[in-house]
Chains A and B, each alone.
Chain A
Amino acid sequence: MNIRRIRTMTELARQTTGKERAALEICRYNRSDYIVLQLILSFFLTTIGFGGLFLLLVLGNMEAVMDGVDVLNLQQLGIFLVLLYAIFLAFYLVIEGHLAAKRYDQAKRVERKYKRRLRELSRS
């Protein structure tokens, strides 16, 4: 038995489970494609989250909202909410973009290790 080959194959098998497997899945995309995909996902989740947060705040203060709805300028409130949503979304998209880029770079490092072991295996 070639011990070195067995050791390399074991390391490769270990890299195809868990976090390493997730990293190899990420590397199937281009860097920009992966980041755009994560941003699109984040757009939907942030929109749902913002809607949920708004609903929760309204529900928690429903009596005050119902008392004050007569005097509210709905147009101004609508513009304020749209602006707030835009700032909220921009903040989350910047964070998600940064995290996605970092995740992709880490995944690339894992992929390089994996390819190096593949080359060692083919040589042994």
Chain B
Amino acid sequence: MTRILEIREKIESFYARAASYVDMALRFVLLLFLLFGMAGMFGGVSVFANGFVILLASLLGALLPFRALPLIAGVFSVGFAFTVGVDAGLVLLLLYMTLYCLFLRFVPEDSLAFVLTPPSLAFGLPALVPVVAGLRRRPSSILAIACGSFAWHVLKSLSVCSAALSELPAGDYAARIRLFFGSVLSDPGVVIEILALAAAFIVTYGIRRTGIDHAFMVGVVLGSLTCAFFIELGHLALGQSFQMVSSLLGTLAVIVIGFVLQFFWFAPDFKRAESFDFMDDDFYYYVRVVPKERAYRRRLESAAAFSEEAAAGETDFLQEAGAGFGEQPEAAMTTSDEEASS
């Protein structure tokens, strides 16, 4: 465990030194992955499926901020839709414009959630983005996740129906649009999935905000299970077959990823948590202090520094704050001394 903590601290210090380069590399890899994924979905030999063009676009996206990623991904997806048909491209463009005007303009900071939801759905990890967003973001992120989910279903419908669309006459717009877009609008599974993602987010966010011990881990597990539960419930309601194995595997993968992210973002050591209460002229203070998990070597160094300060006669802040109305300050100090020297 100590070795893992030391590795984490090395990663954190490396990121602190090279954050801009790491972010650029992440944007490049993410765009490359997204654009090649789209090229794989739609196939064909269009300019948008050209590896060199994708590489150039990914390099451009690496230089721009994260908010430019949905714009680049959107341009490519509309381009791929135009290769299927002019009507498909126009409908997708209209869809993106409508989603932006009605929803996405309120959540510009959640552009990454909008971009990452389609690939997470494609890989059978529907709970990934809502659970991760529930750990870090605000309730408004549900808008970006829902828009991403709807956009994914339209793109999937377009790629699945591209062969059928090529057989329909080009002028029969009503039939063509009904085939790839009307089917999405009339599919209750889309609504159920969006509700399941929203439920996963709400559960994770709600548990995170309670402040209970291990709230993040409990939120990750329950959020993932909630999403899987509602999706399977939807399959039952629609008379579709259960996909228990893939659903369970996806849930496990999301839980593992969530734990890894939680380890980097928020790693309190609840075993060494302490509670204090004291008051001044204006307020009563109920303070719960939860130290961060640190590598053992640094813990020894901080304990040694604390002992030196105590020996040099530094006063303790508890004594300065005055007597509390709960535990005695001396009892609390004794507890922290024992913890530091252990």
- State the total of A-B contacts with C-beta under 8 angstroms: 57
Q: Is residue B174 contacting chain A, with contact meaning CB distance below 8 A?
A: yes
- The answer to whether A52 touches B98 (Cβ under 8 A) is yes
Other-chain residue from B100, B105, B106, B177 in contact with A62 (beta carbon distance below 8 A): B177
With A66-B174, A99-B106 as known contacts, state yes or no: A59 contacts B101, CB within 8 Å. no
Q: Is residue A30 contacting chain B, with contact meaning CB distance below 8 A?
A: no
The chain A residue with its CB closest to the CB of B65 is A18
- The answer to whether B101 touches A62 (Cβ under 8 A) is no
In the complex, which residues 176-204 of chain B have their Cβ closer than 8 Å to any Cβ of chain A? 177-178, 181-182, 184-186
Q: Is residue A61 contacting chain B, with contact meaning CB distance below 8 A?
A: yes
Q: Is residue A33 contacting chain B, with contact meaning CB distance below 8 A?
A: no
CB distance from B259 to the nearest CB of A (A): 30
B: contact size bracket: 20 to 34
Q: Is residue B94 contacting chain A, with contact meaning CB distance below 8 A?
A: yes
Q: Is residue A63 contacting chain B, with contact meaning CB distance below 8 A?
A: yes
- The answer to whether A48 touches B97 (Cβ under 8 A) is yes
- The answer to whether A62 touches B178 (Cβ under 8 A) is yes
A: contact size bracket: 10 to 19
Cβ-closest 10 pairs across A and B: A49-B101, A52-B98, A49-B102, A60-B185, A62-B174, A60-B182, A45-B101, A48-B101, A60-B181, A59-B177
List 5 other contacts, CB 8 Å, given A48-B101, A59-B181: A52-B95, A57-B185, A60-B185, A61-B178, A63-B175
What are 27 A-B pairs with beta-carbon distances under 8 A? A45-B101, A45-B105, A48-B98, A48-B101, A49-B98, A49-B100, A49-B101, A52-B94, A52-B97, A52-B102, A53-B98, A53-B102, A56-B94, A56-B181, A56-B185, A59-B94, A59-B181, A59-B182, A60-B177, A60-B178, A60-B184, A60-B185, A61-B178, A62-B174, A63-B174, A63-B175, A63-B178
